[in-house]
Amino acid sequence: MPTPVFELKDVSYYYLDKIAAVRDVNLEVAPGERIAILGANGSGKSTLMHILDGLLLPTSGKVLAFGHELTEQRLEDSEFNRFFRERVGFLFQNPDVQLFCPIVWEEVAFGPLQLDLPREEILRRVEDVLDMLGIRELRDRAPYALSGGEKKKVALGSILPINPQVLILDEPTNGLDPRTQQWLIELLEELHLAGKTLITATHDLSIVEEIADRVLVMNERHNVVAEGVPSDVLNNFDLLLEVNLIHEHAHRHGDIVHHHGHGHFFTHDHPHEGKQNDEP
């Protein structure tokens, strides 16, 4: 069996040592896998993503990346740091954080430049990625002047030239219009076929089946409460209700008021005439 990309053993993270963000998470990620971490706002998905990228170290528990434990000492070792950073790319939730260079071209070149790749190789990778993402015309633009969708594309473009084996994506479809969202899903599919490992944190239930083969669900107490294939998890109504990913919803059809679960993923699956059994 190949070495797992990530192994998390009883990982917990507390802000200021008292505010829990992640509690007792155990997780193993195999190379090439597609995993979605589902959870409501504030469930700790984002913190977990930061832990996976070695930006935060767990308050307790262990994180192993490619068989090596992530520790402060190890991440400060420049050899290991480069080994790790070349293999793991992180798409931040807020592209304004991720795009810190004066122009798009430099943004895309930043990563491979840090890896000390030869100049010709850097230039080639930058051009390839600009073409792959269809952002060639943005190359001389300043990141602050871009639209939300363009920023997301450039943020992805800032990671891809490093050619990481693992991509960690924090709410990648947040704030994207439907077309860009579809574009992103197709790109993730393309990357999956190229053998990349994809770990996506999201609360967008409508994309889960397209971007993941395995789903982990986090509740608002910051624990992982369920794990399974997307279809099983998405059809587990009680579970999704419990972790606040869908909500009891009241609305009116003529004279009848329904109370039923309602999430992005679910459509009405109840008859619309006669008395409902969930009516008061």
Partner 1 sequence: MTPKWMISNDQAVALPSATPGGKRGRRSFLEKTLWQLASVMQESVFSEAYASAPGLLQTLDPRVKFATLILFLTVTSLVRSIPVLVSIYLFTLLLAQLSRIGLPFFIKRVWLFIPLFAGIIALPAIFNVITPGEVWVPLIHLPRAYSWGPYHIPEAIGISRPGVMGALVFVCRVAASVSLVVLVTLTTRWDRLMKALRVVRIPQVFVLTLGMTYRYILLLVKLVQEMYWAKKSRTLRFSGVKAEQGWIASRMGALFRRSLQMSQEVHGAMRSRGFDGEAKILDTFQIRLRDYAWIFTSVLLFGLLFWLDRYL
Write out the residues near partner 1 by the rule CB under 8 A: 50, 53, 55, 78, 81-82, 85-86, 88-90, 92, 94, 96-103, 106, 109-111, 113-116, 119, 122-123, 140, 142-145, 158-159, 162
DSSP letter assigned to residue 274 = S
Those residues with Cβ within 8 angstroms of residue 274's Cβ, 6 or more apart along the chain or in another chain: none
Q: Nearest distance from residue 117's CB to partner 1, in Å?
A: 10
Nearer to partner 1, 89 or 172 (CB): 89
* Residues 24, 5: Cα–Cα separation, whole Å: 19
Q: Nearest distance from residue 82's CB to partner 1, in Å?
A: 6
Nearer to partner 1, 123 or 256 (CB): 123
Nearer to partner 1, 17 or 238 (CB): 17
Q: Are 173 and 207 in contact (CB under 8 A)?
A: yes
Q: Nearest distance from residue 87's CB to partner 1, in Å?
A: 11
Nearer to partner 1, 158 or 197 (CB): 158
Q: Nearest distance from residue 248's CB to partner 1, in Å?
A: 15
Dihedral angle, C-alpha 74, 79, 80, 86, nearest 10 °: 150
Q: In degrees rounded to 5, what are phi and psi of residue 273?
A: -120, 155
Q: Nearest distance from residue 15's CB to partner 1, in Å?
A: 13
Nearer to partner 1, 107 or 207 (CB): 107
* Residues 251, 256: Cα–Cα separation, whole Å: 8
Dihedral angle, C-alpha 228, 231, 233, 237, nearest 10 °: -160
